[in-house]
Amino acid sequence: MRYLKSLNKYFWKYRWRFLLGILFIIASNYFRILSPQVTGYVVNSVEEHLRDNREKEAGLKPSESDHLKLEKSEKREYDILVRVFITRIDLLKPSFGQKVGICGITLLVLALLGGFFMFLMRQTIIVMSRHIEYDQKNEVYGHYQRLDLNFFKTHSTGDMMSRIAEDVSRVRQFTGPAVMYLINLVAVIGFSLFFMIRKDPLLTLYVLAPLPILAITIYYVNNIIHKKSEHIQALLSDLTTNAQESYSGIRVIKSFVQEGAMYQFFQNNSEDYRKNAISLAKVESIYFPSMGLMIGLSTLLTIMIGGIYVIHGTHHTDIGTITEFVIYITMLMFPVSAIGWVASMTQRAAASQKRLNEFLNTEPKIDMPPHGLKKDIEGNIVFDQVGFTYPNTGIRALHRFSLQIKKGQKVAIVGKTGSGKTTLAQLLLRMYDPQEGKIEMDQKDLKEFDLKNLRNQISYVPQDVFLFSDTVSGNIRFGMGSGNEEEVRQAASYAAVEKEIQDFSSQFATLIGERGVTLSGGQKQRISIARALIKNPKVLLLDDCLSAIDANTEKEILSNLNSYLKDRTAIIITHRIFALFDFDLIVVLDEGEIVEKGTHRELMEKNGYYAYLYDLQQQKEE
């Protein structure tokens, strides 16, 4: 439950709305609680009327003084508003029919008032919960954005999605309906107990005798329901994951002819889910009837014990009181049966909030200096004895890596897969910080820079390109915010993809992804390159992003880059060697360490590892 404390800031933020909601709940219940009293009064009037008639028929004079005495003592037990109402009616001295008519209209007005305030109570409390949900979703999303890459590597997308969607919505079930029903419950119980005890404490005691049994039943049944529904939730999540994998891996499933096996697997999961869901439905089907039984028992006790009192004339109990009590009990039925629901909602919300707090309390490992350097960088980069080990796997990706890159230099990082090339790019973008050594940009430690300012001036094209479900143009100008059509076209032209885009049905306005065109791997890579080039970066980082591009297009892009890069610093990570591109420096990496460096000619003359890689590539291409 303590996890829900973190919601206090939201309740505080919406305190006035919340307070108003509470007032509306009280008002709604206040008007509803007056109906039993008016009904009791009417019933008593009817009974009196019948008695008078009987007495008249028997030729006796109605004993008025007795009546008045009784009425006065009775009136004191009603609510002040009802007392005023009765006094007014008595002053008017209406006929019996008129009296019943006025009471009927009053009951209708009371029901309308109760309903009106109930409407307002939903308008405030449920609306408040929607505001909280909105704030919380933004908070979680905003926090996701702040977290470092390691967090995303160690948490599955499904898990993150379920926290921002399902957990937030479960918390909303608490801040909205659960809180509303809880306050409502307190108000109904408070009001009815107050008037019941005031009217007849002993009868109240008898009537409420089954309540502890009810509470215990609710507690046990609710626990069972809670456990079962948790289990069902987990089964449902498995089922969804299973279905999702089947859809996304459909090509593999079909080519390995595993449709039958996958179907069987899904069916087994589904069967398990069905059995559990049915078992839950059975328990739930006991819940409400048992509640009804208890309430019925209370009603029975009221009529029986009240009836005995009336028959024996003891305890001042009259038929009106019995009627009043029966209505109170009926009014208690729904809120009391909702106790279990409220409890389980609260439990679930606490579990969800705990999961959310786990994320919200995770601090990004990359610390941002509060007043970081915000300046235009030139692109002089120094790696000084840099060592980096991935914290989650303990794999050492870089070891004593030292390299100087001057402004405007074009450097190639060559090596086999797994030699640490991508890690270098990640460190330069400060996705991670090195554990050993340091990286400098323009003679200043990278950590001194304002992170956003730094990343804004470095363009990065990752190995596994990612495009958004947006237009081609939207994807290219992603990092820009603005960027006019001409700039977009120019960038696409540098990336040698413009011609193909012009052939699309809506050219640059063509949608990419499920709702639009499906692009080839090479097209995606080139659009990503265009996205990096349009940013006009000081440093360009290309991470093996020409792998799906044919040799001719590759040549075109490289020659375009030659003119585009001019005085920009460029680091081109590749497992292929581009002999035609005039690199100032080629660094050969193996197992996180530099094994060779120099220009293409120097390295070929050296006839070492680089020359070996190059020969291997030539042989393959031939």
Q: Which residues bind ligand ADP (CB under 6 A)?
A: 153, 390, 392-393, 395, 397, 415, 417-423
Strands 569-574 and 410-415: parallel
Query: Residue 289: CB partners within 8 Å, gap ≥ 6?
Result: none
In the complex, what is the shortest distance from the CB of residue 570 to ligand ADP, in angstroms, rounded to a whole number?
17
In the complex, what is the shortest distance from the CB of residue 537 to ligand ADP, in angstroms, rounded to a whole number?
20
SS3 (DSSP) at 570: strand
Nearer to ligand ADP, 314 or 392 (CB): 392
SS3 (DSSP) at 174: helix
In the complex, what is the shortest distance from the CB of residue 393 to ligand ADP, in angstroms, rounded to a whole number?
4
Locate all alpha helices (DSSP H) within 361-484, ordered by sequence.
421-428, 451-456, 472-476
In the complex, what is the shortest distance from the CB of residue 575 to ligand ADP, in angstroms, rounded to a whole number?
7
Nearer to ligand ADP, 115 or 391 (CB): 391
Distances (CA, A) of 580 to 103, 303, 405, 501, 599: 99, 100, 21, 27, 12
Nearer to ligand ADP, 332 or 403 (CB): 403
In the complex, what is the shortest distance from the CB of residue 424 to ligand ADP, in angstroms, rounded to a whole number?
7
Tokens 């004593």: give the residue. 400
Residue 498: closest CA among 469, 465, 472: 472
Between CA 573 and CA 386 the distance in angstroms is 17
Q: Return the percent helix, strand and coil in the chain, to nearest 5.
A: 65, 10, 25
Nearer to ligand ADP, 264 or 393 (CB): 393
Nearer to ligand ADP, 532 or 545 (CB): 545
SS3 (DSSP) at 111: helix
Cβ atoms of residues 334 and 163 within 8 Å: no
Between CA 396 and CA 435 the distance in angstroms is 11
Distances (CA, A) of 111 to 30, 75, 168, 196, 293: 11, 22, 35, 20, 26
In the complex, what is the shortest distance from the CB of residue 416 to ligand ADP, in angstroms, rounded to a whole number?
7
Cβ atoms of residues 199 and 41 within 8 Å: no
Nearer to ligand ADP, 345 or 594 (CB): 594
Query: Residue 139: CB partners within 8 Å, gap ≥ 6?
Result: 360
For residue 442, is it left (φ>0), alpha (ψ between -120 and 50) or beta? left
In the complex, what is the shortest distance from the CB of residue 129 to ligand ADP, in angstroms, rounded to a whole number?
38
The kind and range of the H/E element at 184 are: helix 179-199
In the complex, what is the shortest distance from the CB of residue 426 to ligand ADP, in angstroms, rounded to a whole number?
7
In the complex, what is the shortest distance from the CB of residue 153 to ligand ADP, in angstroms, rounded to a whole number?
4
Nearer to ligand ADP, 262 or 413 (CB): 413
Residue 367 gets which letter from DSSP? Answer: P
Nearer to ligand ADP, 174 or 432 (CB): 432
Nearer to ligand ADP, 110 or 397 (CB): 397
Residue 204 gets which letter from DSSP? Answer: H
For 147, the token pair is: 């977290």
In the complex, what is the shortest distance from the CB of residue 124 to ligand ADP, in angstroms, rounded to a whole number?
47
Nearer to ligand ADP, 33 or 397 (CB): 397
Nearer to ligand ADP, 23 or 160 (CB): 160
For 364, the token pair is: 């990004």
